[in-house]
């Protein structure tokens, strides 16, 4: 098949290399001209670790129209805070014979993307799918060289419209046998575990990060006390699922599903996962663990919780702390309910549309 991969960071390079190694036509896009220049110099992407091989790509470009014209499937592998701008940029070129997959969508990704392209000139929208998380645990040690430390065993995926999910999964099954069809995007959006395991440890290690200490994010940065807070914020997420009738796995259950890690506590689940070994903590507070996971994870979760009259004091506290540390207002800049395409009185309508 013909793929366009949008985003040439860690995950995007891994995705492009993996698809090309399987024999598919791949065009890789990024807006960073320097990244594109360096990748063009390399001419190939080499995967090491859990995936090994060298891939030749059909195109490496900063022209987004070139990247997706003639493609059947567009894999967006960027941070979720880029989805809104990408939707505006892509809207004139998308059509109903394509599938867009957000890898991952985080909380409300597919809803925001569809709402945005419809408002910016897309008259014949494609299927918009979102995964629960990125399938690969990976880091680009240098442009064109990706270390793959883990591949999740199962990955939830849902779509808009929801009735197209079986068609989407069947089409991608040979490439991604891990993809598991879910009834609607509430399952994938509320299963955004990154919003649970990224902001809390990052903020509670803010002093170490800001003073430029080098440490393993999971092995050193997550203590038993910090894991307790992660578990409490996760319980607030689970309470939303219970309220809307969506059966969500806890962090412990998800670690077993995705990685096969058996644990009796959140601390044990996060610190004994071999795929997390050696992953370093961010070197600065302006990290995607905050700039992505708070506005595209915690903010929409808190907003949905407020609609349902669910108390979310820990979630709200970490949003406010992030706002203070970074001098931003993610309550306004993040994925508000308006950006997802519905208002307070329309939440039940959303549930009906996505069921």
Q: Within the chain, which residue ranges are assigned CATH 3.40.50.720?
A: 2-190
Domain with CATH 1.10.1040.10 in the chain: 194-338
Catalytic residue among 198, 216, 220, 329: 198
**Confidence at 209, pLDDT banded by 50, 70, 90:** very high
Q: 2-190 sits in which CATH class?
A: alpha beta
Residue of 30, 81, 234, 293 with catalytic role: 293
pTM: 0.89
What is the assigned CATH class of domain 194-338? mainly alpha
How high is the pLDDT of residue 343?
54
Please confirm, yes or no, whether 293 is among the known catalytic residues: yes
198 is catalytic: yes
Assess contact for 112 and 341: CB atoms under 8 A.
yes
pLDDT recorded at residue 354 = 42
* Tens digit of each residue's pLDDT (9 = 90 or more) over 190-208: 999 999 999 999 999 999 9
The mean pLDDT value for 76-102 works out to 96
């Amino acid at each position: 098949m013909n793929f366009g991969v949008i985003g040439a960071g860690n995950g995007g390079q891994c995705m492009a290399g993996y698809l090309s190694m399987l024999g598919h036509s791949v065009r890789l896009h990024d807006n960073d001209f320097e990244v594109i220049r360096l990748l063009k110099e390399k001419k190939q992407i080499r995967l090491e670790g859990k995936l090994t091989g060298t891939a030749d790509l059909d195109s490496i470009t900063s022209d987004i129209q070139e990247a997706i014209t003639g493609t059947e499937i567009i894999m967006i592998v960027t941070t979720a805070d880029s989805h809104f701008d990408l939707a505006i940029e892509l809207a004139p070129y998308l059509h109903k014979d394509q599938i867009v997959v957000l890898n991952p969508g985080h909380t409300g990704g597919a809803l925001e993307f569809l709402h945005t392209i419809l408002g910016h000139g897309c008259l014949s929208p494609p299927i918009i799918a979102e995964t629960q998380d990125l399938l690969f645990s990976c880091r680009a040690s240098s442009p064109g060289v990706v270390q793959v430390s883990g591949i999740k065993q199962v990955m939830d995926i849902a779509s808009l419209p929801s009735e197209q999910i079986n068609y989407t999964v069947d089409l991608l099954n040979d490439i991604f046998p891990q993809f598991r069809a879910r009834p609607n995007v509430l399952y994938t959006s509320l299963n955004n575990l990154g919003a649970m395991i990224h902001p809390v440890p990052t903020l509670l290690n803010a002093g170490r990060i800001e003073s430029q200490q080098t440490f393993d994010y999971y092995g050193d940065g997550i203590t038993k006390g910090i894991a307790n807070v992660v578990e409490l914020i996760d319980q607030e997420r689970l309470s939303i699922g219970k309220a809307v009738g969506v059966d969500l796995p806890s962090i412990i259950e998800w670690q077993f599903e995705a990685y096969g890690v058996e644990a009796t506590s959140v601390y044990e689940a996060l610190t004994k996962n071999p795929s997390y070994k050696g992953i370093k903590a961010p070197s600065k507070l302006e990290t995607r663990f905050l700039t992505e996971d708070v506005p595209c994870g915690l903010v929409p979760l808190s907003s949905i919780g407020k609609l349902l009259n669910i108390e979310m004091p820990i979630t709200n506290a970490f949003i406010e702390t992030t706002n203070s540390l970074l001098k931003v207002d993610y309550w306004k800049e993040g994925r508000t309910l308006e950006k997802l395409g519905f208002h307070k009185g329309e939440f039940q309508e959303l549930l009906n549309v996505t069921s």
